[in-house]
Chain A
Amino acid sequence: MTGLLVLLLMALALFGYWLGRRRGLALRRGTAIRIGTVHSLPVYHGLYVALVALLPALLVLAAWAVAGEAVIADRVIAAAPAASRPVSEIDRGAFMNDVRGLANGTLDAAFNPAATGVVPLYRTTRDGFELATGAVAAVLMAIGGAWAYSRLRPDFRARSQVEQMLQGLLVLASTVAILTTFGIVLSLLFESWRFFELVSPGEFLFGTHWSPQTAIRSDQIGSSGAFGAVPLFWGTIFIGAIIAMLVAVPLGLMAAIYLTQYADARVRRVLKPMLELLAGVPTVVYGFFAALVVAPAVRDFGVWLGISNASGESALAAGLVMGIMIIPFVSSMADDALMAVPADMRDGSYAMGATRSETVTRVLVPAALPGITGGVLLAVSRAIGETMIVVMAAGLAANLTINPFDSVTTVSAQIVALLTGDQEFDSAKTLSAFALGLVLFGITLLLNIYALSVVRKYREAYE
């Protein structure tokens, strides 16, 4: 419906463009005796009419897209029979979800039987409002178009007007990034706030018992599950910051050293794309490989070592594969850091008779250490946000253990587990996912800001 309306408006705008351009051409013919008497090209006349007609109409549609459903919900609930009217805010949302699902045909039967009776009302209300919005948009379009058309004269500065609107569009586009940031922060904060009304932040941040599965309804706080997230934080650090880095840092660093110090251009041309290929494999593929091949191998290895509780879903399997995935990232960061070390220092070391490896380990790496550290921190931030490998290979058991053969879970894996499946949106269980998201977002943000500042300071020191 809305899509059709937008297409219609676009078609009308195209018509406006054609009218304006024709007018522009006519103006040009009328004054063709002296060149330069028409300020703008016909194209700009056309664009001016089209834009002035289209923008207000699009604004109306956008406003409707944002606020429309709320208005309809108000109307429908107010008009519904008193007996079937939902009471609380939560019931209201569930009730309207039922009604919408039935009306759109995505739901076969409602959870709330009263919803079925309201469906025709919802349909007529929605259709009425949509028709009204469409009409308002069309009228605005006609008025805007006519006004713009009436302004077209030889001395009318259509190009300047169009360019100003385009500039506005550019600014608007650049605010999308800011809006996204705000959207993330606000939605995480808002939902986390609702979570912390149910569970105290102290319990969440310092509790050591995590079992959200028993929280059935939000009004049963006393008997609901436990939300102590420490096992999750530990699992995240254990897999992402310890095991994965034990794999990725030495391998990535050595790879970078070989590529920058030893390999000639021909070898680099072959090996570097190979590392990029490693970075381009989707994480779900790594996850599948970890679950299919690495996890059973790790379990067998654990059993062979005599560890009785070696699990088929282990921290080690997920961490190993994640480490491999991070190698290209560490290697490219270390590459940049090593390349930024002034050639004088390297040449000085060679002049003293040091071998290449002595130069690397005693001069280059210490000199590049801040840059490498920054790169490793960025890699950690990427590893702890990584989801699919952990979901598929590390499992969901919230264990507080340092046994790498045991299964642990991470923040990101829990977010997926908490939010997939059909459950009521406002329970503590689903809201806790947003609190976990907030922690994850905060930590990765801090890591990134700190790491980038380290890298930048280090670059400045050598420039």
Chain B
Amino acid sequence: MCLAIPGQIQSITGDDDLTRQGRVAFGGIVKFVNLAFAPEAVVGDYVLVHAGFAIAVIDAEAARQTLDYLAEMEPEETA
């Protein structure tokens, strides 16, 4: 019940807490997204978007660690 995808903020408009929104790019298309739940987000950040709202700012370092996890945990498999 949670189709949400990552997109990159291209620009931000509005100062109002409730209606602050960003133009967010999803691999080739751009859509307006409400940023009220990601008040710390800035242009260039990737956000997770669901039903027209950003619900998280994506942690790039955590993403990298997730990808490297198996290699670190079971190094003999990378051989």
Q: Are these two chains actual partners, yes or no?
A: no
Which A residues lie at the B interface, using CB under 8 A?
Answer: none
Residues of B within 8 A of A (CB): none
